Chains A and B, each alone.
Chain A
Amino acid sequence: MSFPLIFERSRKGRRGLKLVKAVPKAEDLIPKEHLREVPPRLPEVDELTLVRHYTGLSRRQVGVDTTFYPLGSCTMKYNPKLHEETARLFADLHPYQDPGTAQGALRLMWELGEYLKALTGMDAITLEPAAGAHGELTGILIIRAYHEDRGEGRTRRVVLVPDSAHGSNPATASMAGYQVREVPSGPDGEVDLEALKRELGPHVAAIMLTNPNTLGLFERRILEISRLAKEAGVQLYYDGANLNAVMGWARPGDMGFDVVHLNLHKTFTVPHGGGGPGSGPVGVKAHLAPYLPVPLVARGEGGFYLDFGRPKSIGRVRSFHGNFLALVRAWAYIRTLGLPGLKKAAALAVLNARYLKELLKEKGYRVPYDGPTMHEFVAQPPQGFRALDLAKGLLELGFHPPTVYFPLIVKEALMVEPTETEAKETLEAFAEAMGELLQRPKEWLENAPYSTPVRRLDELRANKHPKLTYFDEG
């Protein structure tokens, strides 16, 4: 069933609104060299066509507002609508406004920073990075600046990541110019301590870990890991993707981590998927604070201000103040729940994951690293079933699929993260659907989905010949 692009609906001269002629004209206000030479190619449609187009698109969407969305490691929890109202209160601010006239916004940023520091056990924080991977890059650049400052920039050239790591960890380390070495997981799914010891040394700059890890297991030897790292002069980096499991209960800073990035769009209910915008604040221990990006929000006698006077800073990583409205939503979330509420949310996230794991085991799924599950778990279908077919079949049964084929150490992996905001009945209905898929004929599975707007996409062609704009511009 094809659905035209808005450009394909365009008819020359058709209008939804009749605009009053602008007085004064753009030419009177903007220097000529900044004016465009050709008019923008905007679609020309009437208002009803416009409404039907976007309403139609929204009805073809799958999102957390329509469907259970257990995408592992993505924490697709409910995004409270109240936060949208809160964000709207700041919609008229301009980033070039004098800080003296934006004290409320700066106060919100400062307070959010304090809350996040308290939740992670860190000493200083930047709210600037615009997403998780951006936060990672910022964090690793801070570590690099620290080593360079100590004269060890040339010798510490390696970043260690476990084989269960998020793909963004090795990608970040490579991006920052480091060589990546993989540390295997032990049979219990946690970092193999002996293998880690063999890799550690004066050539290592950092270890990147997420805790709980991508198997949903808490790294129980984390204090031993952080002790070893400290002894070797190695910085310990916390990928905050899985913070939802321990929020309010355990702090990366107390585990010995030196740098933490958070995903406000996962743990702190900022809507995500479909391009964000996300937000990836980075917290650090005191010894790394001088290298944080500028500006930092600071509190002085005359009120809040932007502190640019930081000579060792790695510089700006984002224009203005990051994705500010994402910060507003995260602030609203923390203020609404308070520490007891955040702790309860984490506990329920774990409870939901554990309950769903048991349900799926009853339905015939295997859980290869079946330890004390935290916020998510990784299941495997019975022999002969492909994760991809089950994912497509789930769409037909009205659910968004879990993450598939990740982490890489589990074959046909189905990585399930229900989050705390799902009701027991939803988890049970999902488990029923997962069970039903195993009863369907193989042929049905291999050809699913049937009733979605598009069926199986040509992923190969999409990768090799991506067409990213409607206009053919060579």
Chain B
Amino acid sequence: MDIPKDRFYTKTHEWALPEGDTVLVGITDYAQDALGDVVYVELPEVGRRVEKGEAVAVVESVKTASDIYAPVAGEIVEVNLALEKTPELINQDPYGEGWIFRLKPQDMADLDALLDAGGYQAVLESEA
């Protein structure tokens, strides 16, 4: 299972990639594999302020629907509109084209509380 080292992770299988004063958020390779074929993504509204752990998006697959949580508190500044037509990008390229939203954290230092690649790997092993 692919876990890039350039970003942060949550126990709920989101990744957060810092870019300037924003972070890009998506779901991990493990998460997309567990969900199966994604058929629909409900995106948040741009400008919405969210708390850490708040459900901000929904990914629906042929198996189930799953909430996507904000990894840190902040404001939604951009969403991946491509997912409206091609939600399968989440399956095809979970760490790249399949990103879900861009968040402007209220404090970039909040990211330090998240897991690194090694920490996330350990979460997966403990869940197996």
Binding site for B on A (CB under 8 A): 167, 383, 388, 404-406, 408, 411, 459-460, 463-464
Contact = CB atoms under 8 A, between A and B. Distances in A.
A406 B128 contact: no
A459 B37 CA distance: 8
Interface string B58-73: 0000111110000000
Contacts of B114: none
A460 B65 contact: no
A460 B64 contact: no
B39 A463 contact: yes
Interface string B19-50: 00000000000000010110110000000000
Contacts of B66: 408
A406 B127 contact: no
**Range of interface residues on B (Cβ < 8 Å):** 10 to 19
B64 A408 contact: yes
15 contacts: A167-B65, A388-B36, A388-B63, A404-B63, A405-B63, A408-B64, A411-B34, A411-B127, A459-B62, A460-B37, A460-B39, A460-B62, A463-B39, A463-B40, A464-B39
A368 to B, nearest CB: 11
Contacts of A383: 128
Interface string B108-128: 000000000000000000011
B84 to A, nearest CB: 12
Contacts of B88: 460
Given A383-B128, A406-B64, A459-B37, 16 more contacts: A167-B65, A388-B36, A388-B63, A404-B63, A405-B63, A405-B64, A408-B64, A408-B66, A411-B34, A411-B127, A459-B62, A460-B39, A460-B88, A463-B39, A463-B62, A464-B39
6 smallest CB-CB distances across A and B, nearest first, come from A463-B39, A459-B62, A460-B37, A405-B63, A464-B39, A405-B64
Nearest to B88: A460
A388 B62 CA distance: 11
B13 to A, nearest CB: 12
Contacts of A406: 64
A133 to B, nearest CB: 15
A440 B37 CA distance: 25
Contacts of A463: 37, 39-40, 62
A41 B127 CA distance: 55
A118 to B, nearest CB: 37
Nearest to A412: B34
Contacts of B65: 167
A405 B62 CA distance: 11
Nearest to B34: A411
A288 B32 CA distance: 44
Q: Which of B34, B62, B65 neighbours the largest number of chain A CB atoms within 10 Å of its CB?
A: B62
A383 B128 CA distance: 8
Contacts of B40: 463
A231 B39 CA distance: 42
Contacts of A408: 64, 66
A464 B40 CA distance: 8
Q: Which of A167, A388, A459 neighbours the largest number of chain B CB atoms within 10 Å of its CB?
A: A459
Nearest to B87: A464
A406 B88 CA distance: 22
A404 B61 CA distance: 14
Contacts of A388: 36, 63
A460 B36 CA distance: 9
A383 B127 CA distance: 12
Q: Which of A388, A406, A464 neighbours the largest number of chain B CB atoms within 10 Å of its CB?
A: A464
Contacts of A459: 37, 62
A404 B34 CA distance: 13
A302 to B, nearest CB: 51
B95 to A, nearest CB: 21
Contacts of B39: 460, 463-464
A172 to B, nearest CB: 14
B124 to A, nearest CB: 11
A270 B34 CA distance: 35
A459 B64 CA distance: 12
B91 to A, nearest CB: 9
Nearest to B65: A167
Contacts of B128: 383
A216 to B, nearest CB: 19
A392 to B, nearest CB: 14
Contacts of B127: 411
A77 B77 CA distance: 52
A230 B65 CA distance: 32
Contacts of B37: 459-460, 463
Nearest to A406: B64
